[in-house]
C-alpha cells in the first residue's frame, strides 16, 4: 500500500471518528433517554409479571384451602374463600371456583345467588359454567331465569356446546309447557350425526315420552 493510500485511509478514519463524535454529541441525550425508557419498560414488565405470578400463587393456596374445607365439610368457609377467588378474576382459579360453588349449590351444601359470581365470556370455561348455571336455575326457579339468551347463544350451530344447550333448552321448554319448542330442540339433537350417541338416545327417549303423553 502506497504512502498516499495510507494517508487517504487515515484521513477517512479521522473523518469517520469526527462524524461519530458529532452524532454522539448531538444525540447522546436522546440515546440516554431511550436506554432509560427501555430499562424502565423491562423492569416494569418484570415487576408486573412477578406480581401476577405472586397473585396466582396466592390464589392457588386459597383454592386448596377451600378444597380442604370442603373435605372437612366446612362448606361455609369454603364458600367464602371460593367467592373471594372468583371476585378477583385472576387466572383460571376464578373459573374453577365458580364451578366448585355451582357444585356445592347443586348438592344443596350452600345457598348462594349465582348472579353474585363472575365469569368472563372469553374464558375457556364460559360455556360449561353457563350450562351449569342454567341447569341450576331451571331446577330451582324456572320462572326466574336471567341467562336464557346466553343459553340460546350457546345453542347456535357454531357453538361447541350446542347439543348440551339444546338438551337444557328442551328441559326448560317442557317445564314451561312449551312442547313445540322442546321438540324442536330435541329434534336438532336427534337429527345431527355428530351429536353423540348418549345424548342422542336421551333425546329420542324424551321425545317418545312426550309424544305418548300428548296422544
Confidence at residue 95, expressed as pLDDT on a 0 to 100 scale: 84
Residue 171: Cβ within 10 Å count: 19
Instruction: Encode pLDDT of 138-164 as tens digits.
Output: 877 778 787 788 889 999 999 989 999
Identify the band that residue 73 occupies on the pLDDT scale cut at 50, 70 and 90: very high
Instruction: Encode pLDDT of 4-58 as tens digits.
Output: 555 555 545 655 666 666 666 676 677 667 767 777 777 777 777 777 777 778 8
Identify the band that residue 103 occupies on the pLDDT scale cut at 50, 70 and 90: confident
206 pLDDT above the threshold of 60: yes
Confidence at residue 8, expressed as pLDDT on a 0 to 100 scale: 52
Percent of the chain with pLDDT over 70: 84
Amino acid at each position: 500500500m502506497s504512502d498516499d493510500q495510507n494517508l487517504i485511509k487515515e484521513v477517512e478514519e479521522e473523518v469517520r471518528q469526527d462524524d461519530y463524535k458529532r452524532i454522539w454529541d448531538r444525540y447522546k441525550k436522546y440515546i440516554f433517554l431511550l436506554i432509560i425508557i427501555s430499562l424502565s419498560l423491562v423492569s416494569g414488565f418484570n415487576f408486573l409479571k412477578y406480581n401476577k405470578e405472586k397473585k396466582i400463587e396466592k390464589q392457588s393456596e386459597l383454592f386448596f384451602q377451600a378444597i380442604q374445607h370442603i373435605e372437612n365439610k366446612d362448606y361455609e368457609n369454603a364458600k367464602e374463600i371460593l367467592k373471594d377467588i372468583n371476585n378477583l378474576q385472576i387466572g383460571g382459579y376464578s373459573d374453577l371456583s365458580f364451578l366448585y360453588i355451582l357444585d356445592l349449590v347443586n348438592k344443596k351444601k350452600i345457598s348462594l345467588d349465582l348472579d353474585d359470581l363472575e365469569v368472563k365470556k372469553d374464558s375457556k370455561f364460559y360455556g360449561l359454567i353457563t350450562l351449569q348455571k342454567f341447569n341450576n336455575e331451571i331446577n330451582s326457579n324456572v320462572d326466574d331465569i336471567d341467562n336464557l339468551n346466553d343459553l340460546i347463544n350457546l345453542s347456535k350451530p357454531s357453538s361447541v356446546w350446542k347439543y348440551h344447550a339444546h338438551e337444557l333448552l328442551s328441559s326448560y321448554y317442557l317445564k314451561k309447557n312449551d312442547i313445540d319448542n322442546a321438540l324442536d330442540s330435541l329434534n336438532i339433537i336427534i337429527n345431527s350425526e355428530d351429536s353423540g350417541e348418549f345424548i342422542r338416545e336421551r333425546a329420542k327417549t324424551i321425545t317418545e315420552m312426550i309424544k305418548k303423553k300428548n296422544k
